[in-house]
Amino acid sequence: VEKTLYRIPPSNLTKVSPVFRDMLEAPSGSEASEGSGDNTPIFLESITQIDWERLLKVILHKSYLDPPLKFNLDEWISVLKLSTLWKMDVVRATAIKSIEEFDDPARKIHVAREYGISSYYPPALSQLVLRPRSLSVQDIGFLGLECGLKIISIRE
């Protein structure tokens, strides 16, 4: 990841991701298979080091289900992004549940759109319509202009 070599026991990845399971448990021929050693690393293109390290903290945490790690919203979104990409269903569910605890409805709608989490919509939209303060420029940035204008119209 970004020219950094990480040495992780393969089982930590294969037990939570069918994508990594397929990659790392592929039948080996005469050549060393990808990820089998320092000379044959798996290159994770377009993955940032910060996102990868956040995901690793969750995966390598003794119990990523209970109690959850004390991450901020950005950290959980990183985990959601990569767990969605690599079909890590249990890790993804943990990230979704953890993100629900944060009070940032506009950002939740953005995350819901990006990662297909329909359960975020009703409470987040309701919160935006009913809260006393109006939408900020940052809220509109997360919501998009059309959605932001609809919420403003409903609020009036």
Delimit the domains of the chain by residue range.
103-156
**Is 5 within 8 Å of 38 (Cβ atoms)?**
yes
pTM: 0.87
| pLDDT of residue 68 exceeding 90 | no
| pLDDT of residue 19 exceeding 80 | yes
Give tens-digit pLDDT for 94-133.
999 999 999 999 999 999 999 999 999 999 999 999 999 9
pLDDT in the model for residue 28: 60
| pLDDT of residue 52 exceeding 70 | yes
* Single-letter amino acid, residue 14: T
φ, ψ for residue 7, nearest 5 deg:
-105, 105
Compute the C-alpha angle 120/126/130, nearest 5°.
150
